[in-house]
Structure 1
Amino acid sequence: MRKVRILFGFIKLLMPEPLVALIYIGRRATVAGRVIDTKAQAVGELVALLRDPNELPPVEESRRQLAAMAEKLGKPCPDGVSKSDITLPGAAGDRPARVYVPQGGNMQAVQPTLLYLHGGGWIQGGIETHDGLCGALALQSGLRVISYHYRLAPENPFPAAPEDILTAYRALIEGETVLSVAPEQLVVGGDSAGGNLTACLMHDLATADIDLPRAQLLIYPGVDARLETPSIRDLQDQPLLPATRIDWYINLYLPEEQDRLDPRVSPIFSETLSNQPEALIIAGGHDPLWDDAQAYAAKLTEGGVNAELLNYPGQIHAFMSLTKVIPQGNDAVDQTADWLRRVLNA
């Protein structure tokens, strides 16, 4: 019976959205008045069938699960994009990176650029899991995108990731790499843990008085490691990112004695928020990190930063990486590409 339910779950993902909406008439999940998108609910139900939220896998198995989900539910890198694998400096040695430009573009010249930091709970994900998203952003914005693979926990716990990213950023803007990047033509961004690391980088740069990028892109970021918001509580059983997984990720990432209020862990507590660059923050209403995004946008705005908040009240965590099956993920990619062109005058 379970195999039949799983098969039907996959079939629902391939159905046209209006037909899926008919299936869910009268039984769409609602949280704090936010009604879930029908395709997002179908994804969540399938994930719940495929993995038990209370049975955490070995780290390597979790990494394989994320890679499989990215391959099956996310669109591949589109045609019309040229890619090149390179290395960029990290705090403990060179790290893998991938450069994307619209076909015919010069990968090395000074040009508007997005430095992208992948998500994955600080323990998984990488260049391959975010290849489709980075390629789509490069094609649709017309910009160069650099995807950077920082060190992962638990093999390399905090502060390895933020130190790698700070090292790579400094090398890029100081002309120490094969790529030419000017801070005023640079946006730094990422999703989930990558959004957290983007915000942490802004704190590090402002604290060290290093040139800031033109803007920051925070896609469903986690910015408060206390995990006490209403959306964390209300969505503790959301299949894509249940509370058990969030706790597991953080406990693998942070040393036991680490202060969770450190701005390099919880950037919402940074005292540099009024000195930060323009931001686009994207949030899903059925993502436990919904309130993190709302609170961070408010904090930046209070500090005088132009922070644009792009809310999708019916969406789940990682929906921009599920573009084969969630149409609103494609809309968010479109909106993000438009914003990137606008802030970089590209």
Structure 2
Amino acid sequence: MALHPEIAKFVASLPPPAPGPIDPVALRAADEAHVTPLAERLPLHAVEDVTVRTAAGDDVPVRIYTPVAVGPYGVLVYFHGGAFFLGSLETHDHLARSLARETGLKVVSVGYRLAPEAAFPAGLEDCYAVLRWVAEQGEGLAWDGATLAVAGDSSGGTFAAAVAATAHDDGFDRITHQILYYPSLDLDFDAERYASLRENAVGYGLETAGLKPFNAFYLDSGADPADPLASPIKRTDLSGLPKALVVTAEHDPLRDEGELYGARLRDAGVAVTVSRYEGAGHGFVQHFSWIPEFHAVFAETRAFLTEPRA
């Protein structure tokens, strides 16, 4: 299927990349400039900003979204995307609100530290620390003690997969679901590794040639593409991980690594759903979920979260 006309129109409007090195500060400012004003955001029962103090003494900002007044609630811990150097609680606020409204879960969005200022694995450690904090503070969050999901889009999907693996290795078995929206699971960007890196190389928004420079801040900070914490698809044993929903986009260079990861999870005995959205490109949940056929991803997420635990 061709790229959806609304996405194609947006891609055609994008200016060519600026010459010279990528400026993370300028790109962050540009992202923040497009954030929807607070008065126009999806209303929920409550949205609260708090700070989580980790065992290492670091302070991590989080935003807690409560969909309705009466609990208890299942909890979804959300990690935003942005190639490990972009994104914030603000840029993904609308996505977190939609997840809370559509799933009925309390969403805890994590403002983890970004590269290059924070070297690997600082961001990942923040994400894992907040997950453990949620479990420890369950009563205060009105957690139902049953559903505890991790989720993320793009590089946030990398963190979600790595957090699920870290929790498993630590013997922390409270995670019930992992939700990976078009995840970046293999930071070895050799175009010969996956057909989608070649098929979707140019013209769909995220381009294969841009993967290395956009992820360079993270890789140069110490993330090794061979390390399963940086490239979760490199993990040898995927058995025992939480059930997974892996959402991919037809016109995404990262499509095939997500689908391969789903297949490897299934082969390891993990209950997994792999769902490809036709006509979509990378980032469609964040940027184009207002299109009805793509908004369906929230209904699919809700259905996945309410299935009996495998």
Structures share fold, TM-score greater than 0.5: yes
Q: Cα–Cα, structure 1 residues 244 and 157, in superposed 2: closer, same or farther, change >3 Å?
A: farther
Secondary structure class of the residue paired with 1:62: helix
Query: Does the alignment pair 1:166 with 2:133?
Result: no
Deviation at residue 335 of structure 1 after TM alignment? 2.1
Q: How many residues get paired?
A: 304
Structure-to-structure mapping, 1:158-237, within 5 angstroms? 158-175=120-137, 178-179=140-141, 181=143, 184-227=146-189, 228-237=193-202
Query: Does the alignment pair 1:310 with 2:275?
Result: yes
Q: Cα–Cα, structure 1 residues 147 and 256, in superposed 2: closer, same or farther, change >3 Å?
A: closer
Aligned equivalents of 2:80, 2:17: Cα separation in 1: 25
Deviation at residue 333 of structure 1 after TM alignment? 2.2
Q: Which runs of 4+ in 1 moved over 4 A?
A: 53-56, 180-183
Aligned equivalents of 1:52, 1:275: Cα separation in 2: 42
Between 245-254 and 323-332, the greater mean CA deviation after superposition? 323-332
Aligned equivalents of 1:177, 1:103: Cα separation in 2: 17
Mark the runs of 5 or more structure 2 residues left unpaired by the alignment: none
The residue that corresponds to 2:102 in the other structure is 140
The residue that corresponds to 2:52 in the other structure is 88
Tell me if structure 2 keeps the 8 A contact 1:85–1:98: yes
Secondary structure class of the residue paired with 2:307: helix
The residue that corresponds to 1:11 in the other structure is none
Deviation at residue 155 of structure 1 after TM alignment? 0.2
Q: What's the RMSD between the two structures over aligned residues?
A: 2.5
Tell me if structure 1 keeps the 8 A contact 2:53–2:59: yes
Deviation at residue 125 of structure 1 after TM alignment? 0.5
| 1:218-266, Cα deviation, whole Å (9 max, x unpaired) | 0000111112322122322245222343212321012366531110011
Deviation at residue 67 of structure 1 after TM alignment? 2.9
Between 155-164 and 322-331, the greater mean CA deviation after superposition? 322-331
Mark the runs of 5 or more structure 1 residues left unpaired by the alignment: 1-33
Aligned equivalents of 2:20, 2:139: Cα separation in 1: 43
TM-score, normalised to structure 2, is 0.89
Q: Cα–Cα, structure 1 residues 149 and 302, in superposed 2: closer, same or farther, change >3 Å?
A: same
TM-score, normalised to structure 1, is 0.80
Deviation at residue 190 of structure 1 after TM alignment? 0.6
Q: Cα–Cα, structure 1 residues 324 and 259, in superposed 2: closer, same or farther, change >3 Å?
A: closer
Which has the larger Rg? Answer: 1
Aligned equivalents of 1:324, 1:266: Cα separation in 2: 27
| 1:56-93, Cα deviation, whole Å (9 max, x unpaired) | 54111111233345549xx9641244211111234451
Determine what percentage of the aligned residue pairs are the same residue.
29
